[in-house]
């Protein structure tokens, strides 16, 4: 499967071909409209209610579709594609169980503000509400986790609905939009008239910030002695990483980036403090607690960042810049609210801010904290440590890979020990924390960037939730490199049970997992196993040099914990530092 590399002229010719007004079916209208929106690949799985749509794909060479092995694989792949490319990801599934298998992926994208257009089939309009075979009210089921949804009852509405869906998904606070198409609507014929204008009453996201508020921010920076920037995924979503760097260089304010903000600011910069929160760095957490001005740029003050709210940033004046007004003041009372697009807001802010000379002592203090309390772990010569594996992956890829993770300890170690310098290079399920997300999202990321190294770091638990997608890597030669951090337990659950539940280990043993090397080989993918540093270096090098996909199982120490750690009910400076202290 390859992206179609067409010349500009042939692209224009294709557009003309797709836009030609003809009497065609709803299914053909859907495919043409997706192409006109610039969709390069659709991830999906057919079934009865979408057969007209799949029939329209037959022989339609301009249209690219990737058949996954599970609907959840399809939507996570579309999500990974969207996160890696910044474009709208698209997936398709049939009615009933096909649609309900997408729900976890829709919720994952919704929590992390990822632009998706999710297309589901439904039973014929005459059967809706009759409990027909494979009927499920998917618009009702997903209402809390979509930005908007459509049930298309008239084929003439399709061009407008599709164009609106892409507009809604990709503007303002981005998110998933659902289009539910009954079977008879996909079969009906009408004159295709492409739509390229949008007029949605009541939908008009605020892009321009209030100038008065921007001036207030500039004044607050001048008066601050201990300022801190908390940068979130909004920086990445709005493409504002260069403007953030300029803002930091102009003002000299130290930066911490949230889990989903990683890569939005270069980790090599002297003012970067690492990630904050439950598994944040000593420096980032203490800086927030001691700050007198906290500038939140596109983060949502998630509970894993703030921990105990009552004691969060107790001395700080709070500035919150966000495109979604509902986020401002939701968790943390805000002194200077700024509603607007991050890129636009930073462009305006950079024009009026200056270097904060009052913060010289603060910068020295941050530098000292970073030097005295860096992230550290106790290495071993006879056991493979997961942190060492992540550092090794970082070094062998020069920090330039796109890294996707599943959820758990390996996710936190990846966030801590892989140093990201580029936006859209760390792809992980932040808000929902979805196991099974890591590997399929890597497939989408690889299709978005065929020339980049894509590494999927997984636990032995999450890998088994979507392992069947190895088939599509083998068949389509998608060169994702899969690293399985195998500690034979549900690691993060085990860590909580050890620290919070007094070593009462309950149902976490994954010892019955398959031989991952044989599993990879069963799908036609090269598999390697490593139990020591020597084996790890050799296996990983061979995996990187394999032209297609490869799986490396790193057998690591079972009882390794992620530190620092803040337990629930504690403030973020009350960190358990672990064995290294």
Structure letter (DSSP) for residue 469: G
| Residue 127: count of CB within 10 angstroms of its CB | 15
Q: Please, which residues have CB within 8 angstroms of residue 135's CB and are 6 or more apart in sequence? A: 95, 96, 122, 123, 127, 128
Tokens of 485: 């951090």
* Interaxial angle between packed helices 386-396 and 533-545, expressed in degrees from 0 to 180 and rounded to the nearest 10: 40
Calpha distance 425→405 (Å, rounded)? 11
Give bridge partners of residue 317 from the DSSP assignment.
293
Query: Which of these, 15, 74, 16, lies nearest to 45 by C-alpha position?
Result: 74
409 burial class (0-12, 13-18, 19+ CB within 10 angstroms)? buried
Query: Which of these, 236, 256, 228, lies nearest to 416 by C-alpha position?
Result: 256
Tokens of 342: 């991050």
Q: What is the signed CA dihedral for 472, 474, 480, 486, rounded to 10 degrees?
A: 100
Calpha distance 106→100 (Å, rounded)? 10
Asked if 517 and 527 touch (Cβ cutoff 8 Å), the reply is: yes
Q: Please, which residues have CB within 8 angstroms of residue 416's CB and are 6 or more apart in sequence? A: 274, 275, 279, 281, 375, 387, 390, 562
Asked if 192 and 29 touch (Cβ cutoff 8 Å), the reply is: yes
* Interaxial angle between packed helices 8-19 and 26-36, expressed in degrees from 0 to 180 and rounded to the nearest 10: 150
3-state class (DSSP) for residue 351: coil
Calpha distance 31→27 (Å, rounded)? 6
- Please report, for residues 43, 288, 411, 578, the alpha-carbon distance to residue 563 in angstroms, rounded to integers and kept in the order given: 37, 18, 13, 6
250 burial class (0-12, 13-18, 19+ CB within 10 angstroms)? middle
- Catalytic (active-site) positions: 71, 133-134, 183, 492
On the question of a cis peptide bond just before residue 564, with omega within 30 degrees of 0, the verdict is yes
Asked if 179 and 161 touch (Cβ cutoff 8 Å), the reply is: yes
Give bridge partners of residue 550 from the DSSP assignment.
481, 526
Query: Which of these, 409, 414, 413, lies nearest to 427 by C-alpha position?
Result: 414
Calpha distance 71→481 (Å, rounded)? 22
Calpha distance 454→452 (Å, rounded)? 6
Structure letter (DSSP) for residue 340: S
């Amino acid at each position: 499967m390859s992206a179609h590399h067409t010349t500009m002229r042939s692209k224009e010719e294709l557009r003309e071909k797709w836009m030609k007004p003809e009497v065609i079916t709803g299914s053909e209208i859907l495919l043409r409209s997706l192409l006109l929106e610039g969709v390069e690949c659709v991830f999906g799985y057919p079934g009865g209610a979408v057969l007209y749509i799949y029939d329209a794909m037959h022989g339609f060479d301009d249209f690219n579709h990737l058949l996954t092995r599970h609907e959840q694989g399809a939507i996570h792949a579309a999500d990974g594609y969207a996160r890696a490319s910044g474009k709208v990801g698209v997936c398709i599934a049939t009615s009933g169980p096909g649609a309900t298998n997408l729900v976890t992926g829709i919720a994952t994208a919704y929590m992390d503000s990822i632009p998706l257009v999710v297309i589901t089939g439904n039973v014929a309009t005459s059967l809706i509400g009759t409990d027909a075979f494979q009927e499920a009210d998917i618009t009702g089921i997903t209402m809390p986790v979509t930005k908007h949804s459509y049930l298309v009852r008239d084929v003439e509405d399709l061009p407008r609905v599709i164009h609106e869906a892409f507009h809604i998904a990709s503007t303002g606070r981005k998110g998933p939009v659902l289009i539910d198409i009954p079977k008879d609507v996909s079969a009906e014929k009408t004159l295709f008239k492409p739509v390229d204008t949008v007029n949605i009453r009541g939908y008009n996201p605020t892009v321009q910030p209030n100038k008065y508020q921007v001036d207030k921010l500039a004044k607050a920076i001048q008066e601050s002695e201990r300022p801190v920037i908390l940068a979130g995924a909004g920086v990445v979503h709005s493409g504002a990483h260069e403007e953030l760097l300029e803002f930091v260089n102009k003002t000299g304010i130290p930066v911490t980036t949230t889990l989903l903000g990683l890569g939005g600011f270069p980790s090599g910069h002297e003012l970067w403090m690492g990630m904050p929160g439950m598994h944040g760095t000593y420096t980032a957490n203490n800086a927030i607690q001691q700050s007198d001005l906290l500038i939140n740029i596109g983060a949502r003050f998630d509970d894993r960042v703030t921990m105990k709210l009552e004691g969060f940033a107790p001395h700080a004046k709070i500035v919150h810049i966000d495109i979604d007004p509902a986020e401002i003041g939701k968790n943390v009372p805000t002194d200077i609210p700024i509603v607007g697009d991050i890129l636009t807001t930073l462009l305006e802010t950079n024009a009026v801010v200056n270097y904060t000379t009052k913060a010289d002592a603060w910068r020295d203090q941050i530098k000292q904290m970073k030097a005295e309390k860096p992230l550290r772990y106790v290495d071993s010569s006879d056991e493979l440590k997961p942190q060492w594996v992540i550092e090794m992956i970082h070094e062998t890829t020069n920090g330039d890979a796109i890294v996707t993770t599943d959820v758990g300890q390996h996710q936190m170690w990846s966030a801590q020990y892989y140093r990201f310098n580029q936006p859209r290079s760390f792809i992980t399920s932040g808000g929902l924390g979805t196991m099974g997300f890591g590997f399929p999202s890597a497939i989408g990321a690889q299709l978005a960037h065929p020339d980049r190294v894509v590494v999927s770091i997984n636990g032995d638990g999450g890998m088994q939730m979507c392992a069947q997608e190895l088939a599509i890597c083998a068949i389509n030669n998608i060169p994702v490199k899969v690293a399985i951090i195998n500690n034979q337990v549900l690691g993060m659950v085990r860590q909580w049970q050890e620290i919070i539940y007094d070593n009462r280990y309950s149902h976490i043993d994954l010892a019955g997992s398959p031989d991952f090397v044989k599993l990879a080989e069963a799908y036609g993918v090269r598999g390697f196993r490593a139990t020591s540093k020597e084996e790890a270096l050799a296996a990983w090098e061979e995996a990187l040099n394999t032209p297609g996909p490869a799986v490396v199982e790193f057998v690591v120490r079972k009882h390794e914990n992620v530190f620092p750690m803040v337990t629930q009910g504690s403030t973020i400076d009350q960190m358990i530092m672990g064995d290294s202290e």
